[in-house]
Amino acid sequence: MPDVPSYLADYADLYATNPREAALAWFRDAKYGLFIHYGLYSLVGRHEWLQLREKIRPADYAQLAHYFEADHFDVDWITDFACECGMKYVNLTTRHHDSFCLWDTHTTTFNVMNTPCHRDLVDELADACNSKSLGLCLYYSHGRDWKHPHAPNNDQWGGKARPEYDTFEPTYATGAGHDLDIYLDYMTEQITELLNNYHPVAAIWLDGIMVPLEPKDEQGNVIEGFDPRTDGDAFKCQQLYDHIHDLVPHALVSYKQGYLGTEDFYAPEHKAYNRFGDPIGETPGEICTTAGGGWGYTAGHPYCTADELWEKLRDARENNCNLLMNVGPLPDGSFPDEAIATLRAVGKRLQTEGFPGE
């Protein structure tokens, strides 16, 4: 029998014959996970879309790396806390739209090893999750990248692909000089690193779906009714999905509310839906949500109450979905006190009452 990932220990018999089915069975039973949005944007506390909203140039934004220390990003505490709260998996933003990587990648110097932190946070979290039988899910910004020269541009794709600077950004390839395939190869290389170097990966969780879903015509208008299932998968997502499954047969794939319909699970924001108008119950579902405001640390924004979080759990379970509840760590990597109190209170309630509606 092949080595069974610790989080799939209860599904060992099924894993021996079909690792992906074992992972899907685990996912349906997991019900509750912890989402962590952490990166350079956390230092400023003005939302993870800071660079786009405030039109900060890539070179200027990159200066934040000089101050990224993450002194209190403690993976042992985080994973112990997740277990205490009744969560079965943790999902970390390995790379958000700003392109900054939280792992020791050889694809770019714009990563955590070139900061005062100088720690591979993905590696640390993977080890901690494995030791406590938690699933490790890796968020990865696919449709958006505000640094890479050949990432989607606003003149070709909708969905706020790039910040709209007042003047030309010389680091962005444009026109005939822009080659999306270079960016797609770059992403495949990064995701391959994550799958090969960190074990065990429970899921690759892709974000940025509105960009590939909103291609523009030659006049710059969004093509209404575009469907990648019939009109062409320019982002070669099926190739990527197959590559992920080939590398790690038990690793699941999600692309928010669905791009091709071949994803292993849907992960819409805040409520149960998918983009095809199909019942989400036919495919495993996960509602990702946050306390409001930003997903990354947003200074001054309150966290939800325990009662409010309980209702989020109730809604998810009534729709036969997991709940992936977000925390935006403070600049130093620690969790806000308010978030700790709410999640801990709900965890205690789960211990005595079980999940709402069950």
For residue 24, the model assigns a pLDDT of 98
**Which ranges constitute the DSSP H helices of 158-285?**
180-197, 228-231, 237-247
DSSP per-residue string spanning 50-100? HHHHTT--HHHHGGGGGG---TT--HHHHHHHHHHTT--EEEEEEE-TT--
pLDDT at 44: 98
Whether 15 maps to a domain, the answer reads: no
Residue-level pLDDT at 356: 95
- Domain assignment of residue 272, given as a range: 23-352
pLDDT in tens, the chain (358 residues): 569 999 999 999 999 999 999 999 999 999 999 999 999 999 999 999 999 999 999 999 999 999 999 999 999 999 999 999 999 999 999 999 999 999 999 999 999 999 999 999 999 999 999 999 999 999 999 999 999 999 999 999 988 999 999 999 999 999 999 999 999 999 999 999 999 999 999 999 999 999 999 999 988 899 998 999 999 999 999 999 999 999 999 999 999 999 999 999 999 999 999 988 877 878 999 999 999 779 999 999 999 999 999 999 999 999 999 999 999 999 999 999 999 999 999 999 999 999 998 8
C-alpha torsion sign, points 7, 257, 276, 160:
negative
With respect to residue 5, please indicate whether it lies within any of the assigned structural domains: no
Contact (Cβ atoms closer than 8 angstroms) between residue 43 and residue 151: no
CATH of the domain at 188: 3.20.20.80
> Total structural domains in the chain?
1
For residues 234 and 227, is the Cβ–Cβ distance under 8 A?
Answer: no
pLDDT at 7: 98
- Whether residue 1 lies inside any domain: the answer is no
Contact 311, 347 (CB under 8 A): no
* Widest pairwise Cα distance in the chain: 62
- pLDDT number for residue 2: 66
Do 34 and 77 touch, CB atoms closer than 8 A? no
Residue 78 covered by a domain: yes
Q: What's the Cα-to-Cα distance from 105 to each of 74, 109, 112, 194, rounded to whole Å?
A: 21, 8, 9, 9
CB 91 within 8 A of CB 352: no
248 falls within a domain: yes
* Residue 282 falls inside a structural domain: yes
Place of tokens 């979080």: 309
Q: What is the DSSP string of 41-63?
A: GGGTTB-TTHHHHTT--HHHHGG
**Residue 82 and residue 103: Cα distance in Å, rounded?**
21
Is residue 338 situated within a structural domain? yes
Asked whether residue 17 is assigned to any structural domain, the reply reads no
